[in-house]
Structure 1
Amino acid sequence: MKRVLALYMLVTTAALSPARAEMTVEAARSTVAPFYKALNAAFAPQSADLIRQATAPDWTSCRENDVCSGRDEVIAGVAARLKSVPDLTWQIKDVAVAGNQVTVRGEATGKPAGPFMGAAYSGKSFKVMSIDIHTIENGRMVRSYHVEDWIGAVRQLSTE
């Protein structure tokens, strides 16, 4: 009986451990919010610090199966994007949580200051959707997979 009780206590304690508890949507949103704030032109001067706040030092961001970048490379890419789209706004639209994975449906809008991803400057704006899956450990993003509809942005900028 003592063995059964000890095993029950061990399993119950492990199941209720905060490290194993599923994140709430509110906690997940709070964890990833600095990263999405960093993608907004209004916060361009703080962008690098906001990304560092939300990510682990060895965070990896993958945009294709085998095309991944480290934190410093992403920070440089975000800075370049914010310069090319000086009014870029990125919003979190939906957040879903499964264990330590956070899925975010986002929306980006902006008007490029010049040619953009092969599209000639048209003075037009774009609006695109993004889907990101972030793995969270110890309150920070450690790995992200993301897809943005940049082809849709180019199409919007190129149409008459």
Structure 2
Amino acid sequence: MNAMRTTLAAVSLAALSTAAFADDKATVQTFYDLLSDPGSSELAASFLEVTSEDWESIGNYSGENESRDAFVGQMGFFAQLIPDLDWSVQAMHQDGNFVTVRSRATGTPTAPFFGVDGEGRSFDIMTIDIHELEEGVIVRTYHVEDWASALQQLGGR
């Protein structure tokens, strides 16, 4: 009888944990929905709901992390520069309070991009992000994008 109770308790805990993680993955997906439609005020509002006020984007080596407000403000610029931007999630894995995402970013800039005039060329790059959550809210995002490959593609190399 004790073995049955132990098994039942373990199954119940596993089910509760799986349900909590599913919610975290849906929360993280909101980030990619905004990246794929950066001009959407509705998606920007959703992003604000799933991130903490002090959320920060950590991804460059300058030591300057990007704030949530700066990130949302940058989305309007991306909407104009890359109107067909698509940030497609390829894989998502959760381990505790961390959700790791491998994604693919594609787009065709309408003007010079990082100083490269792509003349109508598109880019297709891989990205890796690690989102840290606390109490179901994203507090920090670490990210790496293969912008060097994007510039090579846009430069026709």
Report the TM-score when normalising by structure 1: 0.79
From the superposition, tell whether residues 158 and 23 of structure 1 become closer, same or farther in structure 2 (CA, over 3 Å).
farther
From the superposition, tell whether residues 26 and 17 of structure 1 become closer, same or farther in structure 2 (CA, over 3 Å).
closer
2:146 counterpart letter in structure 1: D
Q: In the TM superposition, what is the alpha-carbon distance from 1:77 to its structure 2 partner?
A: 1.6
What is the RMSD of the two structures over their aligned residues, measured on CA atoms?
2.6
User: Helix, strand or coil: the match of 1:112?
Assistant: coil
User: Helix, strand or coil: the match of 1:36?
Assistant: helix
**Gap runs ≥5 in structure 1:** 1-15
CA contact (8 A) 2:125 2:149 kept: yes
Deviations 1:110-154 (Å, cap 9, x if unpaired)? 100111111113101111111000111121100110011111111
Distance in 2 (alpha carbons) for counterparts of 1:89 and 1:44: 13
Q: In the TM superposition, what is the alpha-carbon distance from 1:156 to its structure 2 partner?
A: 0.3
**Gap runs ≥5 in structure 2:** 1-11
2:57 counterpart letter in structure 1: S
User: Helix, strand or coil: the match of 2:45?
Assistant: helix
Q: 1:64 — aligned with what?
A: 60
Q: In the TM superposition, what is the alpha-carbon distance from 1:23 to its structure 2 partner?
A: 7.1
Q: In the TM superposition, what is the alpha-carbon distance from 1:17 to its structure 2 partner?
A: 8.3
Q: 1:7 — aligned with what?
A: none
Distance in 2 (alpha carbons) for counterparts of 1:103 and 1:142: 14
CA contact (8 A) 2:31 2:47 kept: yes
Q: In the TM superposition, what is the alpha-carbon distance from 1:101 to its structure 2 partner?
A: 0.5
Identity %: 35
Report the TM-score when normalising by structure 2: 0.81
From the superposition, tell whether residues 42 and 134 of structure 1 become closer, same or farther in structure 2 (CA, over 3 Å).
closer
Q: 2:29 — aligned with what?
A: 33
Distance in 1 (alpha carbons) for counterparts of 2:121 and 2:64: 30
Distance in 2 (alpha carbons) for counterparts of 1:36 and 1:43: 13
Q: 1:101 — aligned with what?
A: 98
Q: In the TM superposition, what is the alpha-carbon distance from 1:83 to its structure 2 partner?
A: 1.3
Q: How many residues align?
A: 145
Residue number among 35, 39, 53 corresponding to 2:49 in the alignment: 53
Distance in 1 (alpha carbons) for counterparts of 2:20 and 2:146: 28
